[in-house]
Amino acid sequence: HHLVMSDDAALDKLVIHGSPSGFAGNGEGRTDHEGKPIAPPTGYRHYLNVLHAQRPRGESFEENQTAFDAWASEVLRAYSHFQLLCALRKGPWGVEGLNQRIASTLRREKLLYGSDYTLEKGWYEGRPVLVTQNDYGLKLMNGDIGITLAVPDPRNPQQKLLRVAFPSSSAASDTDKPIRWVLPSRLHAVETVFAMTVHKSQGSEFLHTALLLPPTLNPILTRELVYTGITRAREWLTLVEAKRGVLNEAVVREVVRVSGVGS
């Protein structure tokens, strides 16, 4: 898809459902080169539905570790089905503004509950986080993505505690357990990742990637950046211009710069 999005509601529908019309599933029936069905494009509703629907019923985290690990693995896998990418860090069209906006939208849709199990400011169940510095003590690497989940408190199973679940497939991992559970208070170099910069996404792939271009040209908005964002999509790409013409301007400007023509 290629969209010009002056409509706030359409952007909200895209990040919730995976489609600006509010109806996911445009790709029903599509198959890969081996004839296997490809999941239709989704938005963030998908991983949050998995989080809520597949939560283990057991009241003891330790006694039901396998079930909680399997749940976390499914939530992480579902999260990898969609990622919003953007060029900028600051402003309403950058990571900071978009993360706040998307979290508010998901709360309004009753997909996130910000105050239920909050341990400290900024943490809530469903919060996806990106590790921004290697932490060899926790065996987490720059670029790892984890999801914040509420699990029973070992001291009082009726109460919930927040833990951040990371896949143990990290290069720094030496365990055969599928999930690494980390206390939020131990994570010092992480950021919310409903929106991720294209720069930070290098090396990652997502089933459906939405690449959001800001309404005005910026020095960082180059042909190479657009190409990198596009190639993060494994099966589905939605290219969103906040204002018509920004994509063409970015590509043409980069061609001129590289060829040495003009100033």
The pLDDT tens digits for 68-123 are 999 999 999 999 999 999 988 998 889 999 999 999 999 999 999 865 445 456 89
Q: What does the block give as tokens for 227?
A: 């190409």
pLDDT tier, 5 (very low <50, low <70, confident <90, very high otherwise): low
Does the global pTM surpass 0.75?
A: yes
Question: Which one, of 133, 167, 121, lies nearest residue 147 by Cα?
Answer: 167
Instruction: Give yes or no for a contact between 261 and 24, defined as CB atoms under 8 angstroms apart.
Output: no
Question: What's the confidence (pLDDT) of residue 32?
Answer: 58
Question: What's the confidence (pLDDT) of residue 43?
Answer: 95
Residue 116 burial by Cβ neighbours in a 10 Å radius (0-12, 13-18, 19+): exposed
Does the pLDDT of residue 146 top 80, yes or no? yes
Question: What's the confidence (pLDDT) of residue 67?
Answer: 94
Characterise 104 by phi-psi region: left (phi > 0), alpha (psi -120 to 50), beta (else).
Answer: alpha
* Those residues with Cβ within 8 angstroms of residue 138's Cβ, 6 or more apart along the chain or in another chain: 180, 182, 186, 187
**Bigger pLDDT: 238 vs 244:** 238
Which H or E run contains 240?
Answer: strand 233-241
Mean pLDDT of the chain: 83
